[in-house]
Structure formats: C-alpha cells, structure tokens
C-alpha cells in the first residue's frame, strides 16, 4: 500500500539484543501441527538456530513436538501451552509462529510488544486491518518480522523476477497466478465434546466461540471463514505474492472482482473450491484462479503431483512461465523458447534458506535484508482478502489505496476487520 497509509502508525525502533556473527538465536516455535513440525525440521538444520521452546494449546501436539526436537537436536525444549508465557520468557530472542490464520496478527503484535522478532506463516493476516496493525507493531517496536513466503528466497524465482525487471518480456501488462491444488471433500461431522488435553478456547482465540468440531480443527480450519481464508489465502497467497512481486506493484489495486463457488461437493466447507479474481492496477492487470476439483495443466504450467500451481507473466515482447520446477521465457509471434532455467537447489520448497534469512536479520538488525518483510506479506494477503470480500458480497469493489477503504460500500468496509472475542482483541493502537 502507499507508505503514508500502510505505515501511518509506525513509530520509533527499539534496540534488540546485540549478537555476534556466531551467536545462536534462541527460538520458540508456536504451533506444532504438521507445518509446525516442518519448522522444527528446517530450523534444526540451521547453525544460527537454537530451538529453546515449543508451544501448543494441544497436549498431544506438545508431546510430539518435544520428541521431534529431542530427536533432531539432542536437547529437550521448554514447553508452554499459552503463547503469552513464551513472549514473557526473557531468554527467547525470536518466535516462529505456525498458528491458524486468525491468530497471526494478535500473536505477532504480542510478540513485538514483548521484544521478540517474529517469523509468521502465510498469509500474514486474517483481514486487511490486521495486516496494517502488524506492520505498525513491527515498526513501533523495531522488530524483524518475516512472512513465510519462501518463494522470495528461492534462487530461480529471484532470478526470474530480476529478469522481469530488466524487461525480458518487455512491458508487463498481465500476470496470472494459478492455484489448482486438488482438495478432496471434507464431508460432514457433528459437534462433539472437546478432546482431552486441548484448550479449545485458546485455539479459537479471536474467533467466535463455537462447539468443538473435528472439521474446524487441524488442517480443515482453512475452509471456514472464522479461522481461514480458503485456498486463495492458503496455497494461493504464495502465487499471489509472487505475481505482485513480478509485476513490481507495491500498492493496492484500484478494483477487484471475484466470482466462484463451492461446486460438486455437499459438505461443511464454507470457502469456495473454485474461484476467479481480477485485480485492476490501472496500467496492468492481475488475474488469479483457484481450483480444488479435478483439473490439468494450463498455460505452459505443468501438472505436478495432481496440482498445477505457478505464475504466468505476459509482456509486450513475450511471456514467462514460473513454478516450483523452474522458469521458461518465450518471445515473439512464434512463441520461441529463449530461456529454460530449471530448479537447481537441493530440495523444492525447502523453507530453510528463508528461515535462515530471518535469523541473519535477527542478528544484524537490518530490516531491509528480509526477503519477505511484513509490509510485503501484509500487502499480498490484502489482495486475497479483497478477492474474498468481493466473492462473498457478489460484486465488484473499488479501493481507495490512500485511505485503505472501499469506495461507497459500507458493507465491504465492515469486512476490513472483524468482531473480536474478548480478551483476544487485535488492538486499534499497538
């Protein structure tokens, strides 16, 4: 967004603990589900990381987390069930937060207020207001806040953006992000008693209180508006972020229109399994498409493991195709392939380099060295939120980027934020 609006609440920076080049960052991992255990695995390979503590509201997840940390590092971490206890621990330098989306903002703000640096998983926020408050907290307390958009630290994707900046396909007029990720039906399940060892109140946090339901827990929370943002805000935000990065756009679009639906399935999922969004930036356009049903390859993007996921960039002289496997450039009227760069790193979608980038910034205190700093992550998440708001209201929305308000649409403006359940309230003043 425009810097005067997006960073309006930014304040003075606070100093962090001075570290030497060889110091390890004392790290706590908050959230030990599947992705949280991935974090343990990645950080355990990094020389700068010391996994000192873990935190989860679920006792079973805590036990799995402790066992994994001990197996990979040989050390037993401290164990917490309330993230606020982690933030109060003076021995912790930084936190890596792997909660559901609805917790991202408040946990990041609390951590910044406690003087912790933060790695927060994508999408940065659950709504647009939250993203603004996260940026404001990072600035006010001088914190390093990295969003888990690891494409920005993958070498071939960095190289592709560099080439776009140099005009490899001429002037860009259109970027298209594809999230064709196969998602089976979640079915239907009744509400039940909360399982022993799970603090359901703390799991819901800022979201409304509801009876425990297995489908609203574990991974499937992505498909309910209380806690998730659908696949456009899950897998899709990676491609949304990359599309915007490739376009060189650091502001909100002028307008968005999104349509779609939950087709074929008769189940409890609330978010769409098929969604298209078009964003108007004035001099160029961004299109985004989600498909969770059966599909195939498209636009030169290959079909990998049941999915077609990546980005297409179209310019005055040709087009570029980018995905996890590499990138290709086609030029001229005959679509001649002039460049084919394969993925050259050890592991596809390895987050370790992205996490190491975060740890090095924690030590150097150089915010500009972060490859996916919170301002960028919050802006990409905002596009997902704009698309979802348009989809849910069923109409085109016009955005005033200077005020971060929709024009002449009170209903859409109410969806810039949410009603928070006390005491889990994202503050107006951080």
Residues 226-254 have pLDDT tens digits of 999 999 999 999 999 999 999 999 999 99
Give residue 6's pLDDT band: very low, low, confident or very high (50, 70, 90).
very low
What average pLDDT does the segment 2-14 reach? 44
14 has pLDDT over 60: no
Residues 6+ apart with CB under 8 A from 362: 16, 19, 25, 93, 94, 117, 144
16 has pLDDT over 70: no
Give residue 345's pLDDT band: very low, low, confident or very high (50, 70, 90).
low
Look up the CATH number of the domain holding residue 110: 3.40.50.720
73 has pLDDT over 50: yes
* Predicted local confidence at residue 349, as pLDDT: 61
Q: In terms of domains, do 296 and 257 share one?
A: yes
Q: In terms of domains, do 58 and 139 share one?
A: yes
Total domains in the fold of the chain = 2
Q: In terms of domains, do 365 and 315 share one?
A: no
Residues 131-161 have pLDDT tens digits of 999 999 999 999 999 999 999 999 999 999 9
CA atoms in the 13 A half-sphere facing the CB of 38: 13
Determine, yes or no, domain membership for 193: no
| Cβ atoms within 10 Å of 211's Cβ, excluding its own | 11
* Predicted local confidence at residue 344, as pLDDT: 67
Determine, yes or no, domain membership for 370: yes
Give residue 11's pLDDT band: very low, low, confident or very high (50, 70, 90).
very low
Q: In terms of domains, do 105 and 162 share one?
A: no
Look up the CATH number of the domain holding residue 270: 3.30.360.10
Determine, yes or no, domain membership for 422: no
Q: In terms of domains, do 140 and 91 share one?
A: yes
Q: In terms of domains, do 30 and 177 share one?
A: no
Give residue 343's pLDDT band: very low, low, confident or very high (50, 70, 90).
confident
Instruction: Pick 306 or 269 by higher pLDDT.
Output: 269
Determine, yes or no, domain membership for 241: yes
Q: In terms of domains, do 364 and 303 share one?
A: no
Determine, yes or no, domain membership for 194: no
Q: What percentage of the chain has pLDDT greater than the value 70?
A: 94
* Predicted local confidence at residue 12, as pLDDT: 41
Residues 6+ apart with CB under 8 A from 331: 169, 317, 318, 338
- What whole-number distance in Å separates Cα of residue 254 and Cα of residue 376? 18
Q: In terms of domains, do 15 and 111 share one?
A: yes
* Predicted local confidence at residue 7, as pLDDT: 47
pTM of the entire predicted model: 0.95
Please give the order of strands across the beta sheet that includes 78-80. 78-80, 49-55, 25-30, 94-97, 117-120, 145-147
Give residue 305's pLDDT band: very low, low, confident or very high (50, 70, 90).
confident
Q: In terms of domains, do 118 and 243 share one?
A: no
Q: In terms of domains, do 360 and 389 share one?
A: no
Q: In terms of domains, do 355 and 268 share one?
A: no
Determine, yes or no, domain membership for 404: yes
Residues 399-417 have pLDDT tens digits of 999 999 999 999 999 999 9
* Predicted local confidence at residue 22, as pLDDT: 72
- What whole-number distance in Å separates Cα of residue 169 and Cα of residue 331? 7
* Predicted local confidence at residue 346, as pLDDT: 52
Q: What is the rounded average pLDDT for all residues in the chain?
A: 94
* Predicted local confidence at residue 86, as pLDDT: 98
Determine, yes or no, domain membership for 208: no
Residues 98-133 have pLDDT tens digits of 999 999 999 999 999 999 999 999 999 999 999 999
| Cβ atoms within 10 Å of 364's Cβ, excluding its own | 14
* Predicted local confidence at residue 210, as pLDDT: 98
Determine, yes or no, domain membership for 112: yes
* Predicted local confidence at residue 113, as pLDDT: 98
Q: Is the peptide bond before 123 cis (omega within 30 degrees of 0)?
A: yes
Residues 349-386 have pLDDT tens digits of 689 999 999 999 999 999 999 999 999 999 999 999 99
Q: What percentage of the chain has pLDDT greater than the value 90?
A: 92
Q: In terms of domains, do 179 and 300 share one?
A: yes
What range defines the domain where residue 75 resides? Answer: 3-152+350-374
């Amino acid at each position: 967004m425009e810097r005067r609006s997006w960073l309006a609440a930014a304040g003075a920076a606070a100093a962090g603990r001075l570290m030497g080049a060889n110091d390890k960052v004392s790290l706590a991992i908050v959230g030990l589900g599947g992705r949280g255990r991935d974090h343990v695995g990645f950080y355990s390979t990094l020389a700068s990381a010391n996994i000192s503590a873990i935190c989860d509201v679920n006792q079973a997840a805590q036990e799995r987390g402790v066992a994994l940390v001990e197996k990979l590092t040989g050390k037993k971490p401290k164990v917490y069930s309330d993230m606020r206890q982690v933030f109060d621990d003076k021995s912790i330098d930084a936190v890596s937060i792997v909660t559901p989306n609805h917790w991202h903002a408040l946990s990041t703000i609390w951590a910044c207020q406690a003087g912790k640096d933060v790695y927060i998983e994508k999408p940065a926020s659950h709504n647009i207001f939250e993203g603004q408050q996260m940026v404001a907290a990072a600035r006010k307390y001088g914190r390093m806040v990295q969003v888990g958009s690891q494409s920005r630290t993958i070498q071939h994707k960095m190289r592709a953006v560099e080439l776009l900046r140099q005009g490899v396909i001429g002037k860009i007029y259109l970027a298209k992000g594809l999230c064709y990720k196969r998602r089976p039906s979640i079915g239907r399940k009744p509400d039940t008693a909360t399982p022993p060892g799970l603090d359901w109140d703390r799991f819901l946090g800022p979201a409304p209180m509801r009876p425990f339901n297995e489908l609203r827990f574990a991974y499937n929370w992505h498909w309910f508006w209380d806690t998730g943002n659908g696949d456009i805000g899950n897998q899709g935000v990676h491609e949304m972020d990359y599309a915007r990065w490739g376009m060189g756009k650091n502001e909100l679009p002028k307008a968005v229109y999104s349509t779609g639906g939950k087709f074929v399935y008769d189940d409890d999922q609330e978010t769409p399994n098929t969604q298209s969004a078009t964003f108007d930036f004035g001099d160029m356009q961004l299109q985004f498409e989600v498909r969770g049903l059966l599909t195939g390859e498209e636009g030169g993007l290959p079909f990998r493991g049941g999915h077609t996921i990546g980005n297409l960039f179209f310019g005055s002289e040709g087009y570029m195709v980018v995905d996890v496997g590499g990138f290709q450039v086609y030029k001229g009227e005959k679509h001649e392939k002039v460049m084919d760069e394969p993925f050259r790193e050890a592991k596809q979608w390895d987050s370790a380099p992205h996490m190491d980038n975060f740890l090095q910034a924690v030590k150097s205190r150089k915010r500009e060295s972060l490859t996916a700093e919170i301002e960028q992550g919050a802006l990409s998440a905002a596009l997902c939120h704009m698309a979802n708001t348009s989809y849910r209201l069923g109409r085109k929305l016009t955005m005033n980027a200077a005020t971060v308000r929709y024009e002449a649409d009170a209903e859409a403006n109410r969806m810039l934020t949410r009603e928070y359940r006390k005491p889990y309230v994202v503050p107006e003043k951080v």
